[in-house]
Amino acid sequence: MTDIASTTQRRLIAEQLRVPSTFDAATEIERRVVFLADRLVDAGLSTLVLGISGGVDSTTAGRLCQLAVERARQAGHPATFVAMRLPYGVQADEHHAQAALAFIRPDRVLTVDVKPASDAALAALLAGGLTFADAAAQDFVLGNVKARQRMIAQYAVAGATAGLVVGTDHAAEAATGFFTKYGDGAADVVPLTGLTKRRVRALAETLGAPADLVGKPPTADLESLAPGRLDEDALGLTYEQIDDYLEGRPVPAEVAERLEARYRATDHKRQPPIAP
């Protein structure tokens, strides 16, 4: 179990990721809805833009966005939520994405297939002479291209609609650096900041999301050679372990060490570009 040295380190990480020591789902929902509405109005913009995958993070953030634009409209500001479906071709769990949209009830749904642009980017790189160590390495890089194509699509919509791009980064993903730099890691506002995965689920449940979405096993679903690969499999850590660590509950020493090593190695993803 954790010793005193790693307790200090854990506190520092939890503080840097803004994980509060106490938690109340209803309070956090209200605070984050007000945050989104205020940021939109203060920026003088009129849309929130977010990709809806069918996972619990975008289900939760999407509902917060819809509540925020309704709040802004009640206060007399023009505000619209644009939910984006961004499949790579046909998405295996499309029914979950549709269930998420039915729950969120967004003002507008805009669908962009990121497959043609992602595949064209890869083809151009190969034609330009880029080589990969093996098929798995190529597939991994293509996965990050998919995440960045989603970013391009969302920023195009934000640019055309006076919008802000919403990100779904939260404490458990930020701690492990488990996101694509300038892909899903790129956003203007990040309403789930500081939440552990179980707290994201608690928000989803309190918001009334369907149980199968609240409890859905997280997947980045970026690798064509390993469709629907679970985050926990890729990370070698469970979200229960990551959440326990961040919330100050006891975890085995080797879990703390692995997490802290990931945290250090991915520091560059949580910072602005390095300058001299």
Ligand X SMILES: Nc1ncnc2c1ncn2[C@@H]1O[C@H](COP(=O)(O)OP(=O)(O)OP(=O)(O)O)[C@@H](O)[C@H]1O
Contact status: 167 vs Mg ion (CB under 5 A): no
Residue 233 assigned to a binding site: no
Task: Choose, by CB under 6 A, the member of 222, 237, 246, 255 that binds ligand DND.
Answer: 222
55 or 87, CB closer to Mg ion? 55
Residue (of 273, 50, 42) closest to 155 by Cα position: 50
Q: Is 173 a catalytic residue?
A: yes
Residue 58 assigned to a binding site: yes
What is the Cα–Cα distance from 180 to 148, expressed in whole angstroms? 8
Contact status: 270 vs ligand DND (CB under 6 A): no
Residue 269 assigned to a binding site: yes
Task: Choose, by CB under 5 A, the member of 55, 163, 185, 191 that binds Mg ion.
Answer: 55
Record the tokens describing residue 260, joined without a space: 């802290």
Which one of 7-15, 199-207, 217-225, 234-242 is the stretch in contact with Mg ion (CB under 5 A)? 217-225
Task: Report the Cα–Cα distance between both ends of the chain, in Å, rounded.
Answer: 40
Sheet bearing 47-51, strands edge to edge: 108-111, 80-85, 47-51, 163-165
Contact status: 106 vs Mg ion (CB under 5 A): no
Residues belonging to the chain: 276
Residue (of 2, 1, 16, 7) closest to 264 by Cα position: 16
Contact status: 196 vs ligand X (CB under 6 A): no
Q: How far is CA 214 from CA 143, 167, 173, 218, 232, in A?
A: 25, 18, 17, 10, 17
SS3 per residue for 208-221: CCCHHHHCCCCECC
Q: Is 57 a catalytic residue?
A: yes
Residue 173 assigned to a binding site: yes
Contact status: 88 vs ligand DND (CB under 6 A): no
Contact status: 57 vs ligand X (CB under 6 A): yes
- Say which of 3, 15, 42, 57 is annotated catalytic: 57
- Say which of 28, 169, 173, 243 is annotated catalytic: 173
Residue stretches of the annotated binding site for deamido-NAD(+): 148, 181, 188, 268-269
| Catalytic positions | 57, 173
